[in-house]
Amino acid sequence: MSGVERGLPPVLRLFAWAMATMAILSLLYTLAMTRLLHTPHPYGVTLFWGTSQGSDFTTFAERSHHFGTPAYWDDFNYPFTYPAPLAPIFALLFKLPNPLIDYLILCSAALAGWAAWLARELHAAIFVAVVLISSWPVLLLLNTANIEGLVAIILAAGVYAVLRDRFWLGATLIGLAAAMKLFPFILLALLFSRRRYREFAWGLAVAAITTLASLAALGPTILQAQHHIADGFRFIDQAFILSTQPDALNYSHSLFSLLKFTLVVIAHPSPALLNTTLRLYMAVAAIAGIALYFAVIRKLPILNQTLALTICAVLLPPLSADYTLVELLLPFGLLCLYAAETCRADLTPIFACFAVLFAWETFLTIRYSFDRPARTVALCALLIFVLCKPLPWQRLDQPGASA
């Protein structure tokens, strides 16, 4: 890098080169497999926009036009597969003149704001541009227009508010994000660590109130609406979480997905065994997560806590597609600022994990798409590094300090 980028610590320069190199490898691989060899999926996973552009968003267009009526629960070829609070969000978005374009503009504006913040703090616009352009989760989010983008925006705003000691605002925003996707509630633990127990309880209350209000608006009754929501979750269980089809195996970087992937390769498990494994996994993940928080996480510096809790939020759900990795952008940005300020020489393993998580990796597609299992391993390794390597930072650790 040139200019102001020369002032960056070596670990950030190395990270940018790794991201760019893997993006080029993936581009060449995809061009060869799709344009020259005409190899079918999954050997040539596309990096290019096409007829499926925005499909995760437009799937709910027709249903959303019937929000608040019994017709909302009719068969529209794809069930509603999100928690209830996202239903009114979709309904509002589809009242806009150009809902898909407007939503992509919102996501793009948020990403541009993140990039402007980090570039200003680091004085390294080229570094930030390289990271953003070569980021696979960002590309996937903009390609699919998944509603995870909105959840990530609200969650990042809430976490940032907590780090700026605006606890009530942070609790409210994290509570809203948790109502929309559940696992973001893990980030409320940042309030618990700072002994902001009333704000912590308020965040839980916001999630509960938002859920009940959304169910009531969906109708015809709260219980009936929840029954339909549960049907959507059961569809996700069968189509993705418990499925052993190639697309389902390639879909998620969840820790459970790695476990399922391993079982399929080794033992070809029955549906009953997979279902039992899922139930055990959920119980063990919940118990182990709580124990890990009280035994280790809450005693670490705030940067470690923010990283560890966000990693858990994208690693522990039984289904977690690559666009959920955009939730890591805020803690990653904070880590970059920490690296530039402290110039620590022992952060390379942490940034190596982030390179695996963020980079294009379609060149890892052989028989199965090994990029998702690689990301799962990287998330586990990153969590271990963050738990074992304290990152004390006065900007976050002292009360009243600014993030």
The model's pLDDT over 56-73, given as tens digits with 9 standing for 90+, comes to 999 999 999 999 899 999
Averaged pLDDT for residues 10-32: 90
Greater confidence (286 vs 365) lies with 286
The predicted pLDDT at position 41 comes to 63
* pLDDT category of residue 6 using cuts at 50, 70 and 90: low
Residues 6+ apart with CB under 8 A from 284: none
User: Alpha helix (H) ranges present in 221-301?
Assistant: 222-236, 246-249, 255-267, 271-295
Least confidently predicted of 164-178, 288-302, 351-365: 351-365
The answer to whether the Cα torsion of 11, 164, 206, 187 is positive or negative is: positive
What is the DSSP code string of 101-117? HHHHHHHHHHHHHHHHH
User: Is pLDDT above 80 for 47?
Assistant: no
Least confidently predicted of 122-131, 166-175, 345-354, 390-399: 390-399
Averaged pLDDT for residues 342-351: 93
The answer to whether the Cα torsion of 137, 309, 239, 225 is positive or negative is: negative
Q: Which H or E run includes 76?
A: none
pLDDT, mean over the chain: 90
The model's pLDDT over 250-261, given as tens digits with 9 standing for 90+, comes to 788 899 988 888
- How far is 45 from 29, CA to CA, in rounded Å? 9
The model's pLDDT over 123-135, given as tens digits with 9 standing for 90+, comes to 999 999 999 999 9
User: Is pLDDT above 80 for 392?
Assistant: yes
Q: What is the pTM of this model?
A: 0.92
Least confidently predicted of 6-20, 29-43, 147-161, 326-340: 29-43
* The two three-digit tokens of residue 113, written as one number: 């704001």
Residue written as token pair 């509570």: 175
Averaged pLDDT for residues 194-221: 96
Residue written as token pair 């509960």: 208
User: Is pLDDT above 90 for 157?
Assistant: yes
* pLDDT category of residue 343 using cuts at 50, 70 and 90: confident
User: Is pLDDT above 50 for 2?
Assistant: no
* The two three-digit tokens of residue 388, written as one number: 């074992």
Averaged pLDDT for residues 113-131: 95
- How far is 127 from 172, CA to CA, in rounded Å? 33
The answer to whether the Cα torsion of 351, 10, 337, 128 is positive or negative is: negative
The DSSP letter of residue 32 is I
* The two three-digit tokens of residue 187, written as one number: 């980030």
Residue written as token pair 């510096």: 301
Q: What is the CA radius of gyration of the chain?
A: 21
User: Is pLDDT above 80 for 368?
Assistant: no
- How far is 303 from 397, CA to CA, in rounded Å? 8
The predicted pLDDT at position 1 comes to 41
Averaged pLDDT for residues 77-84: 92
- How far is 63 from 94, CA to CA, in rounded Å? 10
Q: What are phi and psi of 365, to 5 degrees?
A: -80, 115
